[in-house]
Amino acid sequence: MKRMNYQKYAAYQTVDIPDRTWPDKRITKAPIWSSVDLRDGNQALPIPMSVDEKVSMFKLLVSVGFKEIEVGFPSASATEFSFVRKLIEDRLIPDDVTIQVLTQSREHLIRRTFESIRGAKNAIVHLYNSTSRQQRDVVFRMSREEIMAIAVSGTKLVKSLKEESGNSGIRFEYSPESFTGTELDYALEVCHAVMDTWGASADNKVILNLPSTVELSMPNIYADRIEWFCRHIKDREAVIISVHAHNDRGTAVATSELAILAGADRIEGALFGNGERCGNMDIVTMALNLLTQGIDPELDFSDMPTVREVYRRCTRMDIHPRHPYSGELVYTAFSGSHQDAISKGMKAHARSAEGLWDVPYLPIDPQDVGCTYEAIVRINSQSGKGGIAFVLDKEYGIQIPKWMQPDFGMAVQEVTDRTGEELSADQIHELFQKEYIGAKEPYHLKKCHISWDDEDPEANDEVATIINCSILGPDGDISFKAKGNGPLDAFVRGMSSQTGLDFHVDEYVEHSIGHSSDALAISYIRISCGDGRLSCGSGIDSNISLASIKAIVSALNRLH
Interface residue list for ligand KIV (CB under 6 A): 40, 102, 128, 175, 177, 209, 211, 213, 244, 246
Q: Is 40 in the site for Zn ion (CB under 5 A)?
A: yes
Alpha carbon distance 99, 87 (integer Å) = 9
Min separation Cβ 198 and ligand KIV, Å: 17
Q: Residue 382, exposed/middle/buried by CB under 10 A (0-12, 13-18, 19+)?
A: middle
Alpha carbon distance 343, 329 (integer Å) = 17
Q: Is 53 in the site for Zn ion (CB under 5 A)?
A: no
Min separation Cβ 209 and ligand KIV, Å: 6
Min separation Cβ 244 and Zn ion, Å: 6
Please give the helix or strand (H or E) that residue 239 lies within, else none: strand 239-245
Min separation Cβ 275 and Zn ion, Å: 6
For residue 288, what are the contacts with CB-CB under 8 A and spacing of at least 6?
Answer: 297, 301, 324, 325, 364, 369
How far apart are the two ends of the chain, measured CA to CA in Å? 55
Q: Which does 175 bind (CB under 5 to 8 A by kind): ligand KIV, Zn ion, none?
A: ligand KIV
- Of 175 and 381, which CB lies nearer to ligand KIV in the complex structure? 175
Identify the sign of the CA torsion 52, 54, 59, 63. positive
Min separation Cβ 188 and ligand KIV, Å: 17
- Of 105 and 557, which CB lies nearer to Zn ion in the complex structure? 105
Alpha carbon distance 114, 131 (integer Å) = 24
- Of 210 and 546, which CB lies nearer to Zn ion in the complex structure? 210
Q: Is 215 in the site for Zn ion (CB under 5 A)?
A: no
Q: Which does 162 bind (CB under 5 to 8 A by kind): ligand KIV, Zn ion, none?
A: none
- Of 128 and 301, which CB lies nearer to ligand KIV in the complex structure? 128
Q: Which does 209 bind (CB under 5 to 8 A by kind): Zn ion, ligand KIV, none?
A: ligand KIV
Min separation Cβ 139 and Zn ion, Å: 16
> By CB under 5 A, which span of 32-40, 57-65, 202-210, 533-541 interacts with Zn ion?
32-40
- Of 40 and 227, which CB lies nearer to Zn ion in the complex structure? 40
Min separation Cβ 276 and ligand KIV, Å: 7
Alpha carbon distance 285, 324 (integer Å) = 6
Among candidate residues 513, 514, 557, 518, the one with its CA nearest the CA of residue 537? 557
Min separation Cβ 245 and Zn ion, Å: 9
Q: Which does 135 bind (CB under 5 to 8 A by kind): Zn ion, ligand KIV, none?
A: none
Min separation Cβ 52 and ligand KIV, Å: 24
SS3 201: strand
Question: Where in 283-312 is the site for Zn ion (CB under 5 A)?
Answer: none
Q: Which does 383 bind (CB under 5 to 8 A by kind): ligand KIV, Zn ion, none?
A: none
The DSSP 8-state label assigned to residue 9 in this structure reads -
- Of 269 and 494, which CB lies nearer to Zn ion in the complex structure? 269
Q: Is 177 in the site for Zn ion (CB under 5 A)?
A: no
> By CB under 5 A, which span of 34-42, 169-177, 183-191, 359-367 interacts with Zn ion?
34-42
Q: How would you write 249-270 as a 3-class SS string?
A: CCCHHHHHHHHHHCCCCEEEEE
Q: Which does 128 bind (CB under 5 to 8 A by kind): ligand KIV, Zn ion, none?
A: ligand KIV
Alpha carbon distance 119, 367 (integer Å) = 41
Among candidate residues 135, 164, 165, 129, the one with its CA nearest the CA of residue 149? 129
Q: Residue 508, exposed/middle/buried by CB under 10 A (0-12, 13-18, 19+)?
A: middle
Closest-by-Cβ residue to Zn ion is 40
Q: Which does 227 bind (CB under 5 to 8 A by kind): Zn ion, ligand KIV, none?
A: none
CA angle at residue 367 from 362 to 368, to 5 degrees?
A: 90
Q: Which does 366 bind (CB under 5 to 8 A by kind): Zn ion, ligand KIV, none?
A: none
| Residue 266 near residue 241 (C-beta atoms within 8 A) | yes
Min separation Cβ 36 and Zn ion, Å: 7
- Of 134 and 201, which CB lies nearer to Zn ion in the complex structure? 134
SS3 23: helix
> How many residues comprise the chain?
560
Q: Is 268 in the site for Zn ion (CB under 5 A)?
A: no
Q: Is 37 in the site for Zn ion (CB under 5 A)?
A: no
CA angle at residue 367 from 366 to 370, to 5 degrees?
A: 100
Min separation Cβ 281 and ligand KIV, Å: 10
Q: Which does 413 bind (CB under 5 to 8 A by kind): ligand KIV, Zn ion, none?
A: none
The DSSP 8-state label assigned to residue 14 in this structure reads P
- Of 128 and 198, which CB lies nearer to ligand KIV in the complex structure? 128
- Of 40 and 407, which CB lies nearer to ligand KIV in the complex structure? 40
- Of 278 and 544, which CB lies nearer to ligand KIV in the complex structure? 278
Torsion of CA 490, 491, 492, 498, to 10 degrees: 110
Please give the helix or strand (H or E) that residue 351 lies within, else none: helix 336-351
- Of 39 and 378, which CB lies nearer to ligand KIV in the complex structure? 39
Which residues in 139-165 are b (16+ Cβ under 10 Å) and which e?
Answer: eeeeeeeebbebbbbbbebbbebbeeb
Alpha carbon distance 77, 100 (integer Å) = 16
Q: How many residues bind Zn ion (CB under 5 A)?
A: 1
- Of 70 and 407, which CB lies nearer to ligand KIV in the complex structure? 70
Contact residues: Zn ion, CB under 5 A: 40
